[in-house]
Amino acid sequence: MVSPAIALAFVPLLLTLLLRYRHHVLLLYRAVVLSWLRDRLSGVSREQRAFQYVLSHGIPGDPGHILLTFDRWSYHCEHLSGVGPVKGRIVERLVRERAPRRVLELGTYCGYGTVLLARALPPGARLCTVEDNPRHAAVASKVIRMAGFDERTVQLIVGPSAEVIPQLRRRHRLAQADFVFMDHWKRRYVRDLRLLERLRLLAPGATVLADHVLFPGAPRFLQYARSCGRFHTRLHRASLEYCPGIPDGLAELRYTGPAQHSPELYP
């Protein structure tokens, strides 16, 4: 049994750790503990609760207000993983600068990133978004339509990315993508990027933008992008959505093709 004196010796260390990682502790409480308790007590998932809030407070047909309502929910109610307003401004700026005609999103979740991308598209552009969780896809579909985007602009595809990507050209009329936004499982980033390359689904000069590369992190993806010789890479540093005390970032990749060298452009 540990003596009181030894136990007391660890108190300063514990207090230091709690102070240093207080933002992470708060995130754990809001994103995991609180949501788990509310799931059990209400019998309704966090994603469905968020949609009910958006349905009650959002303005149909106004994408900006839909996103703002999601932000209010995530700041004041429960943490909802997504792009968020800080990184969202970076995403939207890059989409408007590149003006892509064919966009692919991997990881729809509740549709926040989808609405953000869709409202920044030039007229006549098309977005295909892929979500492997049918329950999340059901919520996202309602959010996308509530924001005012029909199937001609946004096509939601339900299924694992490894199965959907090989079908994009034949079944979903996406021959090549000018812009790819990755925000699904981080361990799938490298696999899916290599699959897009192998199937020649990246247009010359295409932009690949990957979220959460610093938290929770995607080190294998960053290493691959830097070393494979087919991308110009840049890191946009920001903070985790709705958690300004936790650093995060977006990795921007410009596809140069298999025959060109890709220098590192990390600041």
49-78 pLDDT per residue, tens = 999 999 999 999 999 999 999 999 999 999
> Which CATH number characterizes residue 126's domain?
3.40.50.150
Distance CA 226, CA 221 (A): 9
Contact predicate 230/260, CB 8 Å:
yes
Q: How far apart are CA 253 and CA 207, in angstroms?
A: 6
Q: Give the chain's domain count.
A: 1
User: Strand 243-255 and strand 202-210: pairing?
Assistant: antiparallel
Indicate whether 22 belongs to any domain: no
Whether residue 223 is contained in a domain is answered as yes
Cα–Cα distance measured from residue 173 to residue 33, given in angstroms and rounded to the nearest whole number = 42
What pLDDT score was predicted for residue 14? 60
Q: In the prediction, which pLDDT does 262 show?
A: 40
Both tokens assigned to 135: 């329950």
188 found inside a domain = yes
> Domain span at residue 201?
84-255
Q: What is the reported pLDDT for 21?
A: 72
- Is residue 210 within 8 A of residue 248, CB to CB? The reply is no
Question: What interhelical angle do 63-76 and 46-57 show, nearest 10?
Answer: 130
pTM: 0.90
- CA 92 centroid distance within chain: 13
pLDDT at 263: 41
Are the C-beta atoms of 168 and 141 separated by less than 8 Å? Answer: no
Q: What is the CA radius of gyration of the chain?
A: 20
Q: Which tokens sit at 247?
A: 């650093």
Residue-level pLDDT at 265? 36
- 234, part of any domain: yes
Q: Per the structure block, which two tokens stand in for 188?
A: 């799938």
Q: Classify residue 98: in a domain, yes or no.
A: yes
Task: Identify whether 56 is part of a domain.
Answer: no
Whether residue 42 lies inside any domain: the answer is: no
Does 20 fall in a domain? no
Contact 46, 80 (CB under 8 A): yes
pLDDT score at 134? 98
For the chain, residues with pLDDT lower than 50 are 2, 259-267
